[in-house]
Amino acid sequence: MNRLFFKNNKLNFILTLFTLTLDSAAYVGIAFFMKTLMDVAGNRDLQGLIQLLIVIAVLLPTYVGVIFLRRFAKNRFLERAARQYKEACFEGVLKKTRGGFQKSSTAQPLSMLTNDYNTIEQNLLGGYFSIWNCLTQLVLGIFSMLWLSWLLTIAILLVCMLPILVSMLFTPKLQKMERQVSQRNEGFVGFTKDIFSGFAVIKSFRAEKEIGALFCRNNAQLEGVKRSRRDTADLVNLLAEVSSLLVEIVIFTVGALLAIRGVIAVSVLIAFIQLLNNVVGPLQRLSPLLVQKRAAQALVEKAEKLLQSHETRSGQDASFREQIRVENLTFCYEDGAQPALKNVSCSFEKGKSYAIVGASGSGKSTLLNLLMRQSDTYDGSILFDDTELRKISEESLYRLISTIQQNVFIFDDSIGNNITLYQSFPAEKISRAIRQSGLDGLVREKGEAYPCGENGNQLSGGEKQRISIARGLLRDAPILLMDEATAALDAETSLMVEDAVLSIDGLTRIVVTHKLQPDLLRRYDQILVMDRGMLAETGRYEDLLAERGLFYSLCRLSGIGVSESCA
């Protein structure tokens, strides 16, 4: 994924490196300026001093221009790198399958796009420039020192090996700690997200004290790991500073001896002292920078692994000319667990309506989820015409199927954008979906631009559910799956919405419902009765009541429709 940082961004990167090189050369130039200034002062050469100041006056604006160009190119490199990397990561998350995404923690991509990227930008991308700056200063400084005095330079280089050894020793440990911080942060983000999502439950059960203690424990664990990482990084910096101090002592001692013996001039020693910043400073910074860069690279590799962990399912285009056929379908959520579905066989013909009923946990929603290909780990077969569902591409499948579920997510945006999900539709289609879903009263009162709030906190549960229904109806997919979609609606609105759905010509409807309303159930072509993961009964409303089986019992428990049908 490193290439994403440099896609259409190489010019900014190269320009930044070039200006950093000029910047390093300027620091070396200061050392020679100091040497020349001391020589001019020693020779009492006023004309030479004036010429030197003129050169500086000419070069100073150029240096300012180089600094401005460096900041301009660097900021644009970082901006484009961040945008392209985050967009690619987000696109990778969106390419995951529904089942693959639901099996993973949402804290992982959240941390990847926030905390992890902040570390990547600071220590990896910023590290490229900081390391290059250190290396150019170091190389130019060493060459300048060799030109001034090879003997003093060799003494410096021998001592400079110590900071390099420090970096080699501590790099693996810091990389491991960086991964630990990332993992802890993922857990902390996920835990905090769950707390805020369940805030109402916490308050209603008066569990603030217990949840607060749990938060403190998680927070202490995260900050403890971060402290350990900082302690190790500080130790690396301390050793680097000690090594740099040792280099300075060697330069001053050896330089002073050479100057006393007349091997080098005093002006050369002053230039060496100035060049010392170009050697000791980079060496002091280089060791921690290399460690931090490698640790940040581990986060890039972690993101790449995360995005590749669930690859997009490919396959052929789906067709739906005749029917969906389910044959001997068996499914377990976990290996060795009790099957959620057992040898279910049924068919759904094009253009007809099907109601799936049964007690809680009977397998109704599981059957609908498998029709949406939430998992491929089922036994038996699900055929769209003659094509097995596992061979169909997800993109093709989602063109055929629209879903309306009980749990609705609402974006912090307008009613209109929540219905269309930012896609373009003709105005008449949007108006029809609003009318059929029972949203027309809300839209007349507040308008399509009315803000829904975070997860719809400005709307009632029924209003949110109507938005979800409008979404499903708007797509005009030939198959509509509804999973307890009207559970949050009052009886009158629920009847109106289901009546609108059942009145759409040519639409294949598969509806999971717990509302056993006779007027509606009579309009379904077939009712499927589920019991403990098995298909117990199938038939039309009156026929199932006449059999006095499971469906009859469910109707009696609900207290609706039995007496009048069996009179």
SS (H, E, C) 29-80: HHHHHHHHHHHHHHHCCHHHHHHHHHHHHHHHHHHHHHHHHHHHHHHHHHHH
Determine the straight-line distance between the first and last CA of the chain, rounded to whole angstroms.
71
pLDDT value, residue 330: 95
* 84-133: pLDDT as tens digits: 988 888 888 777 766 666 666 666 777 788 888 888 888 899 989 999 98
567 pLDDT more than 70: no
pLDDT value, residue 79: 92
313 pLDDT more than 60: no
Q: Which two tokens stand for residue 439?
A: 């949203």
174 vs 383, more confident: 383
Output DSSP code: residue 424: -
Q: What is the pTM of this model?
A: 0.63
Distances from the Cα of 367 to the Cαs of 102, 155, 433, 473, 533, in angstroms? 17, 77, 26, 21, 9
* 504-521: pLDDT as tens digits: 788 899 999 887 888 888
Q: Which of 447, 444, 468 is nearest to 456 (CA)?
A: 468
d(CA 346, CA 106): 35
- Tell me the sheet residues that pair with 387: 384
CA pseudo-torsion sign 7, 11, 13, 14: positive
d(CA 397, CA 401): 6
Q: Which of 371, 401, 403, 394 is nearest to 317 (CA)?
A: 394
Output DSSP code: residue 479: E
pLDDT value, residue 565: 42
Domains of the chain: 3-308 (1.20.1560.10), 323-565 (3.40.50.300)
Torsion of CA 53, 57, 62, 68, to 10 degrees: 110
Output DSSP code: residue 489: S
pLDDT value, residue 409: 80
- Mean local confidence (pLDDT), 159-186: 74
Rg (CA), the chain: 36
The SS3 call for residue 88 is: helix
The SS3 call for residue 140 is: helix
Q: Looking at 143-152, 201-210, 287-296, which range is the least confident one? A: 201-210
Q: Which two tokens stand for residue 340?
A: 């959620």
Q: Are 106 and 243 in contact (CB under 8 A)?
A: no
136 vs 172, more confident: 136
- Mean local confidence (pLDDT), 199-221: 79
317 vs 223, more confident: 223
CA 369 to chain centre: 25
